[in-house]
Amino acid sequence: MRAADRRQLAELEQLRRAIEEHNYAYYVLDAPTVPDAEYDRLMRRLTEIESAHPELITPDSPTQRVGASPIAQFGEIRHNKPMLSLENAFDEAEVAAFGKRIGDRLRAAGFDAGDMAFVGEPKVDGTAVSLRYEDGIFVLGATRGDGSVGEDVTHNVRTIAGVPLRLRGKRLPRVLEARGEVYIPKRAFEELNRRAAERGEKTFVNARNAAAGTLRQLDPRITASRPLNVFFYGLGEVDGWDLPETQSGILKALQAFGLRTSPEWELLEGIQGCLSYYETIGKKRAQLPYEIDGVVYKVDRLQWQDALGFVSRAPRWALAHKFPAQEELTTVRDVEFQVGRTGALTPVARLEPVFVGGVTVSNATLHNMDEIHRKDVRIGDTVIVRRAGDVIPEVVSVVLDRRPAKARVVELPSTCPVCGSDVVKAEGESVARCVGGLYCAAQRKEAIRHFCSRRAMDIEGLGPKLIDQLVDQDLVRTPADLYDLTADELMKLERMGEKSAEKLLRALDKSRETTFARFLFALGIRDVGEATAVALARAYDSLDSLMDATEEDLQEIPDIGPIVATRIHSFFQEEHNREAIKKLLAKKVHWPKPQAPSAVAAHPLSGKTVVLTGTLSSMTRDEAKEKLTALGAKVAGSVSKSTDYVIVGESPGLKAQKALELGVDVRTEQQLLDWIKAAPE
C-alpha cells in the first residue's frame, strides 16, 4: 500500500470515529460537543473520500444512514425471544394490587420481598422495535408485529441518527438484541403535518401513527427525511455477554453500548415510589419533547423477574400505568346490540362522531344492561366518551342537565337481533344471551372461527374472511359442514383458486385426527379453556361418559368449580349441541383413546412440574406441551424451586443455567422421548 493510500485510510477511520463520537454526544448524551457546521464539514470530507474509493465503504460507516433504494415489500422476522405486551393500570388501586400480587408470588417462591425496587420509565407513545447487533455491528431491525413475528425494517432503522451502527466498547456481545420505542418528537410531528397540509397531502392523526407509518415506508429515503428517534429499554436475545443482575443494570449497559435510554428513568422504592414517580412524570408530561401516555414499572432484580414469569403474553413483573384518558362530549344517536361467540348481547352506543385521543370515535361500548341502568344512558343524551390508549372507547357518564325531553330509554330486546331466538338474562348475571347457539349466524361465525383456531382443530388456511363467506353464503351452518365442502364450492369464493381450495381441503382432512382435549376446547363451551379441556380429557376415558356426567361429578375434577361445572353440564344437555357433536363424529373426526386416569397417575411425570427450554428437534414446543400434559405433567414457563424437571433442547436459554443453580433435575430431549414411549397405551 502506498504511503498516500495509508494516510487516506487513516483519515477515513479518524473521520468515522470522530463523527460517531459526535453522534453519541448529541443523540445519546444530549450534550453536543461541536457546532453543526463542524459536524457537516467532517461528514462532507468523509463522503468525498468514500466517493473516490467506494471499495472502502463499510456497513457501519456514518454515510450509510442515507436512505437506500425503495424495496418491494417487507420480509418477516421471527423474534427468538417474543416481544411481549404489558398489563395496564389506570388508578392507584390497580397499581397497589400489582404490588401485592408480585409480593405474594415472590414470597411463595421463597424470596424476601419486603424491599422491592422497581425501574420507572416514561411510556413513550411510538412504535416498538427490536435491533440486532452481531459482534457490535447493526445487522437487523424488526417491528414488534404480533409479538412473535415482525417486519424487517432494517433499511429504515439504519436511517435513524440515534441508532448506532456500531456499539461502543471493546468486549462486545456476539449477539445483542436491543428492544426500544421509535418515536417522532412533538415539534417534528407538527412540522411534518404542516408541510403535508401545504402540499395538500393527508396529515397524520397523531405522533404515534406518524412514527409507525414512517418506519414502515417502502422507500427508506422518505424515512431518512423524517427525524425519528429512539429510546431503548430492554433486551431480547443475548449471546456471549453476562447479563447484569438488575433491570437498572441493563439500562446502564445499554447506555454504555451507545444505545440511547430515557433520561427520565429512575430506580424506585416500593409501590409508593412508583406512585410518586407517576405523579412527577405526569407534571412533566407537557414539557417533554415527545408524547407519552403513561409510565412503566419493572421489577428491578432479574432473578425476581424470572421467578414471576409471564401470564398469557405479558410479564407479571411489569406494569404500564396509564395517564387519565382523554374525554370529550358527544350525543347518543342510537343503541344497538351485538351478539358475540357465546351469545352475549353487548349494547353499543352509536355516537355523533367526535375526535378523542387522536382518533374519530363514532361507537362506544356500554358493556351490559346493568351498566346502562347504572349510568342511566338514554338515546338522545349528551354523554362523556373516553378513549384510553388503544382501549375500546366507552361512555363514562351522562350530562343530565342536557337531556332532551324526548330521550328514549334503552330496552333489552326480547329476541336476538341476528337470529330471532329468545334472549335470556340469568339471575345474578349482568350479561344477557341469545339461546340460538350454533344456529345463530353471529355465534356461528365466531364458533367456527374458534373451532378452526390453531390451539383447537388447527385448520390452516381457514381464516376469518373465508369463514364469513362460507357462513354468509349458507355453505356452513355447523362445524361439521366444513367437512362436506367441495373444491368446486370453494373455488367460487373470493380469492380462492384451485390450488388454495385443494390446500384447504387437505388441511380439513388432516384436522379429522386430533386429541380429546383439543376437540373439547374446539367445541367452544363457555369458560372451558385449554387447561380445563385437558383436565376433562384426563378425567374421562370417553366422550359419552363426559356428556353424561353430573355437575357433582364434574366438580370432583381439580380446578373445576360449581359455575364451570354448570356450564359444561348445560352445554351437553342441549340437544342441538349433542346433534352438532354427533355430526362431527359422523365426519370421522376422531382421536386416540384417552388413557385411563389410573394409567396417567402411574406415569413418572404425573403431577410433576416441567419446564421446556431450547429448540426441540423432534417436535414443536406446543406438541411437547400437549404430550406432557397428557402424561399428567404441569408445564410451567419459568424455573423455580418447585420445578421437578427442566427439559433442554438445542441452544437453551437462561432457564437451563437457573436449573443448575437451583439443583433442578435437567433432562435431554431423548429422555423426554423415552418418557413418551413409556406411556401406557
Which residue(s) pair with 424 in the sheet? 433
Compute CA distances 454 → 462, 518, 618, whole Å. 10, 10, 20
Query: Does residue 425 carry a catalytic annotation?
Result: no
How would you classify residue 634: left for phi > 0, otherwise alpha for psi between -120 and 50, otherwise beta? Answer: beta
User: What's the count of helices (H) and strands (E) in the chain, helices before strands?
Assistant: 25, 26
Say which of 100, 123, 445, 641 is annotated catalytic.
123
Which residue(s) pair with 107 in the sheet? none
Alpha-helix residue ranges (DSSP H) falling in 137-284: 154-157, 186-198, 207-215, 220-224, 247-256, 270-284
For residue 567, the surrounding DSSP H or E stretch is helix 562-573
Question: Within a 10 A sphere around the Cβ of 261, how many other Cβ atoms?
Answer: 21
Q: If you ran DSSP here, which 8-state letter would residue 54 be given?
A: G
Q: Tell me how many degrees the CA angle 327-329-332 measures, rounded to the nearest 5.
A: 120
Among 429, 423, 470, which residue's Cα sits nearest to residue 451?
470
Gap between the Cα atoms of 647 and 652, Å rounded: 9
Cβ density class 35-67: b for 16+ within 10 Å, e for less = eeeebeebeeebeebbeeeeeeeeebbbbebeb
Residue-by-residue DSSP string for 432-482 = EEES-GGGSHHHHHHHHHHHHSTTTT--TT--HHHHHHHHHTTS-SSGGGG
Gap between the Cα atoms of 41 and 48, Å rounded: 11
Residue-by-residue DSSP string for 344-400 = EEEEEEEEEEEEETTEEEEEEE--SHHHHHHHT-EET-EEEEEE-TTSPPEEEEE-G
**Contacts for 632 with CB less than 8 Å, ≥ 6 apart:** 538, 600, 601, 603, 605, 606, 607, 608
Q: Which residues are catalytic?
A: 123
